[in-house]
């Protein structure tokens, strides 16, 4: 049968596995357990088949114990043992297949990859764990056999495993291990080894046995010690006690070695007995030496060394790592009990060196670096413990002091370089590099403790390391590490031997050499150390420079020279690093940072040097520094340097502000010379920054800022002299405004910026207004401003159409205002002549009215076309000037320049001329009026003429003697209203009727509210009779005329 053949095959496999080497027994236990359970399941299947054959109608088929998964082949059932039909076989299958498939797995044990055999076993266990062994058939027994089989093989399907409770204990172990790995990284090897031991026994199901064995060893050690100390005081002498202890210890040791060698299943227990024997040997050595004082200290050291060597030999022979750890701990810690009363405690260091050599050889033999790591960590702790028993630093110790120092160096070279030589050939790892680094740091620290000449010793070590690196040229990795150690020794030697002023320079030189070497050998580790030394040197030089500035500033002082050399070193550093073809990301970032820092150092060096030369004028060099930074930023795309070029302008601005505060004035002449220079430099820097960017750094990040600062300076340029002129030379403000306007026009033409054009327009309007005000107040500089404006307006009016297009934009507003500026010129000339024979504005009003009448009546000028509404408004304002003069004479307006005695008949003549001009303008209906008839209808012009007529005869009426002025004004208003009524009879003049009604209403209110209060009875009679007769007559003739028109 197929089951029988498979059973035989599994038995042969079991026998083969039991004959394999003991190096595979850790991993094979899992396989053995699986095979044993498989065999039990097969036996149960065979028994079930036998029972089925005994039944007459039961088909004898094999039931598969596990349904095939999605990736597993379908299990083929064995041949039928009866002649039943297929339907009966299926019914039997359904009746008997009551056991679900099982899948048996065991957790894999901890990884033990110290030897190639262990690595192979690990691979085999991982493959077996990846493909768990599943039995092909399952047993189906009644009662006890079925329940026992179910208990031994519980169902573990994929769904069931997903629903199992998480192993919180294992997660807690991982978290604890991670915490200790981070906090106690030097002890990582010890913790990992202890964890491996525990997981090894726990995976085998012998965790409790391991703990009990360990506890038994500790208890036996303590018990044996107490037995030697107390129980045998009356039985044996001190020598007998010691010999008895050695005999018992070696007996236990021999028993453990025998058990481990003969009985492989008890190998771990035998290793524990060997370790116990070694521990008791160390304990007996302690009783022989310092306790019973049977032998001197030298013999005690020799005895401990022999025990340690024996332990290492047994560990090598028995291939038991536990024994090596016990021997190491006992050999290293037992001599500490000899130090309290020893005459030569420094012998402990050569003793540790010998043990370290043995550990080095043993770790190489068994290919177990953890032993060497444990040795190094333990010996570091032992040397630190030695400092409590000797006086440090060592002075006057003679040959023992020399041996102690040689031992310290031997520990570094043996453990550190030896581990790299023995274990680093297959490749370097972080764990392997951690040991030499820690030993180097310990060597530097211990030399500073043990010897007053630590600097000289570090220099000697550096020389030795240089020789080793030159000798080991073929091993590039080891040579790189030797160079790193050399740099560290030189750096710490400089810290010990040199003063603070020279230390920074030496560190910088060393950093530069290491960087050159790292770039040449393509070693990133050397470059990292060079960067570290460079940062340390820069900090030291910076502190020295600060002390020099605070205490005794001097131009040629050593700290300043050191700072300059620091700057040159950093530039060379960046040059070397920048030539590297391939840099990591962090190296590229450091290179960028180094370039930025080099520029900062250069600026600080220049400013400090200039400050030492002159405290008042040292900021004069800032424009040159800013330009230099801009060039450096363009070459290497440095954003911080570009921002620093702008930030350097802040001290200039601060100097200008502080100087103005000191002298309490913003005047340029009142400032000290250094502040004047700073102000000019600041303005020029902001103005020319855009050109510097365009020439030297067209792709700069802050070029937009330069553009805006230039534009701001261009806007401020025409306004620079205006504040001073407005404060000290107020009369010359108008010519200054014209000058600023001309400068702004030139700038707007040159740079073609809209804001400059707006500025020119604003300055033009301000110049015209200030010119008019200056001429009106009689200021002679106003005539100069008027002449300048006249020349400008005349040239624009004459040559504007032929100007280049670039000039037409800035000059457009001036061209449009030139006709109105002509009115200003005529007004000034006419008023200047008028004041010679009159005290009114009559002549000015007539001249201005005639000027605008001519402008609006003739063919429109191109310059006037956009300003026709303003021209109409100016025309009407000119017509109202006499009336404004009359109001000012009555002190209704507070215009000091116009307040003079009124001349009514001259004013009446001017108003008559104005009325005639307006009537002629309405009659001619010029092109301007026809073009703007929607904005200025004819009816509105008629209303304006009648309103002007009203404003003309009212002042004349009030010039009559008192008593007749009110009567005459009322009669004239009523007569005016009557005339408007007759005018309303014309076609299209119906608006005049409304105007007449309004005028009658005003007359009525005037009579009732004003005239009645001041008139006497006779005046009232005359007024009302005249008004009544006038109104009746007008009403008669108006009605008659209206009827005649209606009849036609």
Distance separating alpha carbons of residues 26 and 322, to the nearest angstrom:
15
Dihedral in degrees, nearest 10, Cα atoms 930, 931, 937, 943: -70
Distance separating alpha carbons of residues 599 and 625, to the nearest angstrom:
10
Greater confidence (46 vs 510) lies with 510
Whether residues 110 and 139 fall in one domain: yes
Distance from the Cα of residue 353 to its chain's centroid: 51
- pLDDT score, position 975: 77
Greater confidence (904 vs 845) lies with 845
- 545 falls within a domain: no
Whether residues 491 and 389 fall in one domain: no
Concatenate the DSSP letters of all residues of 758-819 into one string. Answer: HHHHHHHHHHHHHHHHHHHTT-HHHHHHHHHHHHHHHHHHHHGGGS-HHHHHHHHHHHHHHH
Greater confidence (138 vs 504) lies with 504
Query: What is the token pair recorded at 658?
Result: 């502080």
Q: Is the pLDDT of residue 48 over 80?
A: no
Distance separating alpha carbons of residues 352 and 333, to the nearest angstrom:
10
Whether residues 41 and 6 fall in one domain: yes
Q: Which helix (H) or strand (E) holds 155?
A: none
Q: If we measure between CA atoms, which residue out of 947, 993, 945, 1004 comes closest to residue 970?
A: 1004
Q: Which helix (H) or strand (E) holds 126?
A: helix 116-130
Greater confidence (970 vs 601) lies with 601
| Residue showing tokens 């401020």 | 716
Over residues 751-784, the pLDDT tens digits come to 888 899 999 999 999 998 898 888 877 788 888 8
Distance separating alpha carbons of residues 996 and 984, to the nearest angstrom:
9
According to DSSP, residue 106 is labeled -
- pLDDT score, position 164: 41
CA separation, residue 916 to residues 244, 296, 926, 930, 944 (Å): 154, 147, 16, 20, 13
Residue 792: exposure state from Cβ atoms within 10 A (0-12, 13-18, ≥19): buried
Q: Is the pLDDT of residue 739 over 90?
A: yes
Q: Is the pTM of this model over 0.75?
A: no
What are residue 137's DSSP bridge partners? 64
Greater confidence (786 vs 87) lies with 786
3-state secondary structure (DSSP) of residue 157: coil
Among the three residues 338, 355, 389, which one is the final residue of a domain in this structure?
Answer: 338
Whether residues 8 and 145 fall in one domain: yes
- pLDDT score, position 738: 92
| Residues 350, 399 contacting (CB under 8 angstroms) | no
3-state secondary structure (DSSP) of residue 137: strand
- pLDDT score, position 348: 81
- 270 falls within a domain: yes
Whether residues 147 and 8 fall in one domain: yes
| Length of the chain (residues) | 1048
Concatenate the DSSP letters of all residues of 42-105 into one string. Answer: HHHHHHHHHHHHHSSS----PPBSS---TTSPPPPPPPPSS---HHHHHHHHHHH--S------
- 308 falls within a domain: yes
| Residues 41, 137 contacting (CB under 8 angstroms) | yes
- pLDDT score, position 329: 85
Over residues 628-671, the pLDDT tens digits come to 888 888 887 888 888 898 999 999 889 888 888 888 777 777 88
Query: What is the token pair recorded at 158?
Result: 């994929």
Q: Is the pLDDT of residue 603 over 60?
A: yes
Query: What is the token pair recorded at 796?
Result: 């624009």
Distance separating alpha carbons of residues 801 and 818, to the nearest angstrom:
14
Greater confidence (52 vs 181) lies with 52
- pLDDT score, position 824: 83
Among the three residues 683, 717, 751, which one is the final residue of a domain in this structure?
Answer: 717
- pLDDT score, position 708: 92
Greater confidence (818 vs 149) lies with 818
Q: Say what percent of the chain tops pLDDT 90.
A: 4
360-364, 930-934, 966-970 — most confident range: 360-364
Whether residues 6 and 107 fall in one domain: yes
Residue 148: exposure state from Cβ atoms within 10 A (0-12, 13-18, ≥19): middle
- pLDDT score, position 888: 58
Question: Which residues lie closer than 8 Å to 295 by C-beta, 6 or more apart?
Answer: 288, 289, 303
Distance separating alpha carbons of residues 25 and 835, to the nearest angstrom:
133
- 299 falls within a domain: yes
* Confidence bin at 156 (pLDDT 50/70/90): very low
- pLDDT score, position 95: 44
Q: If we measure between CA atoms, which residue out of 277, 308, 316, 457 comes closest to residue 375?
A: 308
Q: What is the 3-state secondary structure (H, E, C) of 870-933?
A: HHHHHHHHHHCHHHHHHHHHCCCCCCCCCCCCCCHHHHHHHHHHHHHHHHHHHHHCCHHHHHCC
Query: What is the token pair recorded at 768?
Result: 């015209």
Over residues 845-885, the pLDDT tens digits come to 777 777 877 777 776 666 666 666 776 777 777 777 776 66
- 653 falls within a domain: yes
Q: Is the pLDDT of residue 81 over 90?
A: no
Over residues 258-306, the pLDDT tens digits come to 787 777 667 777 777 787 888 888 888 877 777 777 777 778 878 888 8
Whether residues 217 and 293 fall in one domain: yes
Among the three residues 155, 181, 197, which one is the final residue of a domain in this structure?
Answer: 155
Indicate the range of 453-467, 804-818, 841-855, 881-895 predicted with least confidence.
Answer: 881-895
Q: Is the pLDDT of residue 67 over 60?
A: no
Whether residues 332 and 236 fall in one domain: yes
Indicate the range of 225-234, 719-728, 950-959 predicted with least confidence.
Answer: 225-234
Q: Is the pLDDT of residue 991 over 50?
A: yes
Whether residues 620 and 709 fall in one domain: yes
- pLDDT score, position 165: 39
Query: What is the token pair recorded at 736?
Result: 């200054």
- 518 falls within a domain: no
- 28 falls within a domain: yes
Q: What is the 3-state secondary structure (H, E, C) of 749-763?
A: HHHCCHHHHHHHHHH
Q: Is the pLDDT of residue 232 over 80?
A: no
| Residue showing tokens 């031992």 | 407
Question: Which residues lie closer than 8 Å to 741 by C-beta, 6 or more apart?
Answer: 718, 760, 763, 764, 767
Q: Is the pLDDT of residue 146 over 80?
A: no
- pLDDT score, position 961: 58
Concatenate the DSSP letters of all residues of 485-502 into one string. Answer: HHHHHHHHHHHHHS-HHH
Whether residues 251 and 368 fall in one domain: no
What are residue 64's DSSP bridge partners? 137
CA separation, residue 1008 to residues 570, 780, 1023, 1025, 1047 (Å): 101, 52, 12, 15, 39
Q: Is the pLDDT of residue 56 over 50?
A: no
Q: If we measure between CA atoms, which residue out of 626, 568, 638 comes closest to residue 601?
A: 568
- 99 falls within a domain: yes
Number of separate domains in the chain: 6
3-state secondary structure (DSSP) of residue 5: helix
What percent of the chain is helix, strand and coil (3-state, nearest 5)?
80, 0, 20
Q: Is the pLDDT of residue 1033 over 60?
A: yes
Whether residues 45 and 142 fall in one domain: yes
173-182, 338-347, 600-609, 1004-1013 — most confident range: 600-609
Over residues 391-449, the pLDDT tens digits come to 777 766 677 778 888 888 888 787 777 777 776 666 666 566 677 877 777 888 788 77
Mean pLDDT of the 881-895 span: 57
Distance separating alpha carbons of residues 822 and 772, to the nearest angstrom:
12
- Range of 31's domain? 2-155
What mean pLDDT, rounded, does the chain reach?
71
CA separation, residue 684 to residues 318, 603, 710, 714, 971 (Å): 89, 20, 9, 11, 75
Greater confidence (820 vs 524) lies with 820
Whether residues 148 and 27 fall in one domain: yes
Q: Which helix (H) or strand (E) holds 165?
A: none
Q: Say what percent of the chain tops pLDDT 70.
A: 63
Mean pLDDT of the 366-376 span: 82
Burial 675-708 (b: 16+ CB within 10 A, else e): bebbbebbbebbbbbbebbeeebeebebbebbee
Per DSSP, which regions of 314-363 are E strands? none
Distance separating alpha carbons of residues 826 and 395, to the nearest angstrom:
112
Q: What is the 3-state secondary structure (H, E, C) of 280-320?
A: HHHHHHHHHHHHCCCCCHHHHHHHHHHHHHHHHHHHHHHCC
Over residues 90-99, the pLDDT tens digits come to 444 444 334 3
Distance separating alpha carbons of residues 774 and 787, to the nearest angstrom:
12
Q: If we measure between CA atoms, which residue out of 995, 982, 859 comes closest to residue 927?
A: 859
Distance separating alpha carbons of residues 416 and 373, to the nearest angstrom:
10
| Residues 555, 613 contacting (CB under 8 angstroms) | yes
């Amino acid at each position: 049968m197929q089951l029988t053949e498979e059973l035989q095959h599994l038995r042969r496999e079991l026998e083969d596995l039991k004959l394999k080497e003991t190096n595979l027994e850790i991993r094979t236990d899992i396989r053995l357990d699986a095979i044993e359970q498989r065999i039990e399941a097969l036996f149960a299947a065979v028994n079930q088949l036998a029972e089925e054959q005994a039944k007459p109608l039961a088909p004898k088929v094999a039931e598969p114990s596990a349904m095939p998964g999605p990736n597993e082949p379908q299990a083929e059932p064995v041949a039928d043992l009866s002649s039943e039909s297929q339907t009966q076989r299926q019914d039997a299958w359904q009746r008997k297949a009551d056991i679900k498939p099982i899948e048996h797995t065991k957790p894999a044990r901890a990884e033990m990859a110290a030897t190639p055999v262990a690595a192979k076993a690990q691979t085999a266990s991982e493959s077996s764990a990846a493909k768990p062994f599943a039995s092909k058939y399952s047993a189906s027994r009644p009662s006890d056999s079925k329940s026992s089989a179910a208990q031994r093989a519980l169902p573990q399907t994929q769904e069931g495993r997903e629903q199992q409770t998480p192993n919180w204990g294992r997660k807690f172990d991982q978290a604890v291990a991670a915490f200790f790995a981070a906090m106690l990284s030097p002890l990582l090897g010890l913790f990992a080894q202890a964890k491996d031991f525990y997981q090894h026994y726990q995976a085998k199901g012998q965790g409790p046995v391991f703990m009990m064995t360990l506890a038994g060893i500790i208890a036996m050690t303590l018990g044996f010690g107490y037995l030697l100390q107390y129980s045998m005081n009356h039985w044996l002498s001190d020598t007998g006690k010691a010999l008895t202890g050695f005999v018992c210890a070696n007996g236990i040791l021999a028993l453990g070695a025998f058990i481990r060698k003969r009985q492989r299943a008890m190998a771990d227990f035998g290793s524990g007995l060997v370790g116990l024997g070694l521990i008791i040997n160390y304990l007996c050595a302690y009783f022989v030496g310092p306790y019973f004082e049977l032998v001197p200290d030298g013999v005690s050291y020799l005895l401990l060394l022999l025990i340690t060597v024996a332990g290492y030999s047994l560990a090598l022979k028995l291939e038991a790592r536990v024994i090596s750890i016990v021997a190491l701990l006992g050999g290293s810690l037992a001599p500490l009990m000899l130090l309290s009363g020893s005459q030569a405690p420094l012998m402990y260091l050569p003793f540790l060196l010998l043990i370290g050599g043995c550990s080095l050889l043993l770790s190489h033999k068994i290919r177990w670096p953890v032993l060497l790591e444990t040795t190094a960590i333990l010996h570091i702790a032992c040397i630190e413990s030695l400092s409590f028993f000797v006086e440090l630093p060592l002075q006057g110790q003679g040959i023992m002091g020399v041996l102690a120092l040689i031992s310290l160096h031997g520990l570094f070279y043996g453990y550190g370089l030896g581990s790299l030589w023995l274990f680093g050939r297959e490749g370097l790892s972080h764990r392997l590099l951690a040991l030499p680094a820690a030993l180097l740091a310990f060597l530097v620290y211990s030399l500073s403790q043990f010897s007053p000449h630590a600097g000289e010793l570090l220099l000697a070590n550096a020389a030795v390391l240089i020789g080793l690196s030159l000798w080991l040229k073929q091993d590039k990795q080891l040579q790189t590490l030797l160079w790193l150690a050399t740099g560290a020794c030189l750096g710490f030697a400089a810290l010990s031997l040199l003063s603070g002023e020279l230390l920074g320079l030496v560190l910088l030189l060393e950093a530069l050499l290491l960087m050159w070497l790292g770039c040449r050998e393509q070693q990133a580790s050397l470059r990292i150390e060079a960067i570290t030394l460079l940062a340390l040197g820069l900090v030291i030089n910076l502190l020295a420079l600060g002390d020099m500035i605070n205490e005794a500033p001097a131009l040629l002082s050593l700290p300043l020279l050191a700072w300059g050399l620091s700057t040159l070193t950093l530039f060379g550093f960046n040059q070397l690093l920048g030539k590297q073809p391939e840099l990591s990301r962090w190296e590229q970032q450091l290179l960028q940072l180094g370039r930025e820092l080099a520029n900062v150092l250069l600026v600080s060096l220049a400013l400090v040097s200039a400050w030492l030369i002159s405290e008042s004028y040292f900021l004069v060099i800032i424009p040159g520094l800013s330009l230099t930074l801009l060039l450096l930023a363009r070459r290497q795309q440095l954003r911080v340097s570009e921002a620093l070029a702008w930030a350097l302008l802040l001290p200039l601005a601060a100097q200008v502000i502080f100087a103005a505060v000191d002298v309490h004035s913003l005047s340029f002449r009142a400032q000290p010379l250094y502040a004047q220079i700073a102000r000019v430099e600041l303005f020029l820097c902001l103005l020319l920054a855009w050109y510097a960017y365009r020439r030297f750094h067209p792709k700069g990040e802050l070029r937009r800022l330069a553009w805006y600062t230039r534009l701001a300076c261009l806007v401020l340029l025409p306004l620079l002299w205006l504040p001073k002129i407005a404060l000290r030379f107020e009369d010359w403000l108008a010519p200054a405004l014209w000058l600023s306007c001309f400068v702004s026009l030139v700038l707007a033409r040159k740079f073609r910026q809209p804001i400059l054009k707006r500025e020119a327009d604003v300055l033009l309007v301000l110049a015209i207004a200030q010119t008019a005000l200056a001429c009106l107040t009689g200021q002679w500089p106003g005539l100069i401003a008027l002449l300048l404006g006249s020349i400008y307006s005349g040239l624009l009016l004459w040559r504007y159409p032929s100007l280049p297009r670039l000039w037409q934009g800035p000059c457009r507003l001036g061209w449009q205002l030139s006709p109105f500026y002509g009115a200003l010129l005529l007004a000034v000339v006419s008023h200047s002549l008028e004041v010679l024979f009159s005290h009114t504005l009559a002549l000015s009003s007539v001249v201005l009215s005639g000027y605008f009448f001519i402008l609006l009546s003739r063919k429109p000028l191109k310059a006037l076309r956009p300003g026709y509404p303003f021209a109409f408004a100016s025309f009407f304002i000119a017509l109202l000037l006499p009336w404004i003069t009359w109001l000012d004479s009555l002190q209704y307006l507070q215009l000091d320049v116009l307040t003079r005695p009124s001349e009514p008949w001259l004013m009446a003549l001017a108003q008559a001329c104005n009325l005639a001009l307006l009537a002629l303008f309405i009659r001619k209906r010029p092109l301007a009026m026809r073009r703007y008839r929607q904005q200025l209808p004819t009816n509105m012009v008629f209303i304006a003429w009648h309103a002007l007529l009203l404003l003309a005869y009212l002042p004349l009426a009030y010039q009559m003697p008192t008593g007749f002025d009110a009567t005459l004004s009322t009669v004239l208003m009523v007569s005016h209203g009557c005339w408007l009524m007759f005018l309303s009879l014309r076609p299209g003049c119906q608006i005049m009727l409304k105007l007449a009604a309004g005028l009658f209403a005003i007359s009525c209110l005037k009579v009732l509210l004003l005239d009645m209060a001041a008139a006497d009875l006779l005046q009232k009679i005359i007024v009302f009779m005249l008004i009544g007769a006038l109104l009746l007559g007008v009403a008669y003739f108006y009605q008659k005329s209206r009827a005649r028109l209606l009849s036609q």
